[in-house]
Amino acid sequence: MDPQPFHDHDHHQCSDAVMSQAEASLAASGARLTPVRRRVLEILLEAHRAMGAYDVLQRLAAEGYGNQPPVAYRALDFLVEHGLAHRIQRLNAFAACMHPGEAHAPAFLICRVCDTVAEAPAAPVRAALDGAAADLGFTVERASIEALGLCPACREPS
Amino acid sequence: MDPQPFHDHDHHQCSDAVMSQAEASLAASGARLTPVRRRVLEILLEAHRAMGAYDVLQRLAAEGYGNQPPVAYRALDFLVEHGLAHRIQRLNAFAACMHPGEAHAPAFLICRVCDTVAEAPAAPVRAALDGAAADLGFTVERASIEALGLCPACREPS
DNA sequence: CTTGACGCGTTATGATATTACATACATAGA
DNA sequence: TCTATGTATGTAATATCATAACGCGTCAAG
């Protein structure tokens, strides 16, 4: 079963699973998961949320790491480059990838009430986009697909 | 024929058409196209590009309008609210809407070489996205769909 | 002719992100 | 082991993007 933010799940297990996948994925590519990078990923994994770079930085600083923006941005950029995190343009923020290692071009579903961010399988969306672009002669290389709305939990009056 | 950035077109006519549509659209809603707002729209229309708020501001300032950020942001926000311009999240920038008045939820195609921004019809894309979201119980309210890639002109070695 | 809504101008500040350079650390080769 | 090399981290300074808060001018309704 996939990590799935919108429903009850054992979050500890969910995070651990992602961390393991992340480690495996990195080992395969020869990149190093240094303490700062690992810690940043853990911080992102604490919630199914997007966090701003400065929020992450504050956490790092409190734990004795550097307290200047590049410390956070470098780790975040590393995670994004290696597919362990995503940048959410709409929020100027970052979220842990819930499916590291798998090739995927996700769409992000952002709940405007609880700020939860989920990844939806976007292959069909991407196909539609590629088609629309092709009609205009445009070749899509990278796409950001981000939706703002209501997650199941916030939709129903609990 | 639609305004279509990626192909040769009479740009003067293209801009004029959009301005007329914009005026009509605003008149219908009772909102006012003041000099600053009009000028900002004209500036955005000069190129099929996204411009940063500060770029617009510089232009305004050079023409004797205010030279502080809120002057630009207010006009830009107004245009966006009234469907005359779009914010391109990926670029932290704004582009004139090429189909004002028409209800549309566009996808943006951004050429990474010439920076041209075009709007593609996104109804099928949006449908696919709604579907993927619905599978997770998520209700999409607003979506940003932005693609980075190569426009037809930049794709072919001229 | 007042009043109230709106648009514009300005100051100040906040939030996000990068450049540039210095220091430390790991590791492979001599 | 020693040292050279690349990579990671730390820090200062600055660039870029965005908003809050306030005051003034204009214009139309009452």
Q: What is the pLDDT of residues A147-158, one digit of tens each?
A: 999 999 999 875
Q: Which domain holds residue B85?
A: 11-155
Please indicate, yes or no, if residue B61 is contained in any of the structural domains: yes
- Cα–Cα distance, B147 to A142 (Å, whole number): 6
Establish if B2 belongs to a structural domain: no
C-alpha angle with apex A94: A36 to A153, nearest 5 degrees?
125
Residue B121: CATH number of its domain = 1.10.10.10
pLDDT at B154 over 60: yes
Share of chain A above pLDDT 90, in %: 82
- Counting Cβ atoms within 10 Å, is residue B63 exposed (0-12), middle (13-18) or buried (19+)? exposed
Q: Which residues contact A102 (CB under 8 A, 6 or more apart)?
A: none
Determine the pLDDT at residue B121: 94
Q: How many domains does chain B have?
A: 1
Beta-sheet pairing, B139-150 with B107-111: parallel
Cα angle B113, A97, A101 (rounded to 5 degrees) comes to: 85
The average pLDDT across A57-62 equals 98
Q: For residue B30, report the phi and psi dihedrals to the nearest 5 degrees.
A: 80, 5
Q: Which amino acids of B are annotated as binding site, given as ranges?
A: 111, 114, 151, 154
> If 0-12 CB within 10 Å is exposed, 13-18 middle and 19+ buried, where does residue B30 land?
exposed
Pairing assessment for the beta strands B93-96 and A139-150 based on DSSP bridges: unpaired
Residue B147 sits at the chain A interface (C-beta within 8 Å): yes
A107 with B129: Cβ contact below 8 A = yes
pLDDT surpassing 50 at residue A104: yes
Residue B93 belongs to a domain: yes
Tell me the β-bridge partners of B110.
B117, B148
Annotated binding site of B for Zn(2+): 111, 114, 151, 154
- Band of residue A38 on the pLDDT scale cut at 50, 70, 90: very high
Residues 6+ apart with CB under 8 A from A29: A82
Distance between the alpha carbon (CA) of B34 and the C1' atom of C4, Å = 20
- Do the Cβ atoms of A72 and A56 come closer than 8 Å? yes
Residue B119 CB: number of other CB atoms within 10 A? 23
- Residue B100 located in a structural domain: yes
Q: Where does the pLDDT of residue A6 fall: very low under 50, low under 70, confident under 90, or very high at 90 and above?
A: confident
Task: Tell which B residues from 94 to 113 touch A, by Cβ distance under 8 Å.
Answer: 107, 109, 111-112
Token pair for A78: 């590393």
The yes-or-no verdict on residue B2 having pLDDT over 60 is no
Q: Hey, what are A43's tokens? A: 């911080």
> Is B6 a domain residue?
no
- Per-residue 3-state assignment (H helix, E strand, C coil) for B134-150: HHCCCEEEEEEEEEEEE
Give the three-state DSSP class for A146: strand
State whether A132 and B124 contact (CB < 8 Å): yes
pLDDT at A7: 80
Task: Say how far A63 CA is from D10 C1', in Å.
Answer: 15
Measured CA distances, B58 to B47, B55, B66, B67, B130 (Å) = 16, 5, 9, 7, 40
Mean residue pLDDT across chain B: 93
A124: Cβ–Cβ under 8 A, 6 or more apart, which residues? B128, B131, B132
Residue A92 lies in a domain: yes
Q: Structure tokens of B144?
A: 């940003």
Task: List A86's β-bridge partners, or say none.
Answer: A95
Closest Cβ opposite residue B141 in set A89, A120, A148: A148
pLDDT of residue B47: 86
Is the pLDDT assigned to residue A2 strictly greater than 60? Answer: no
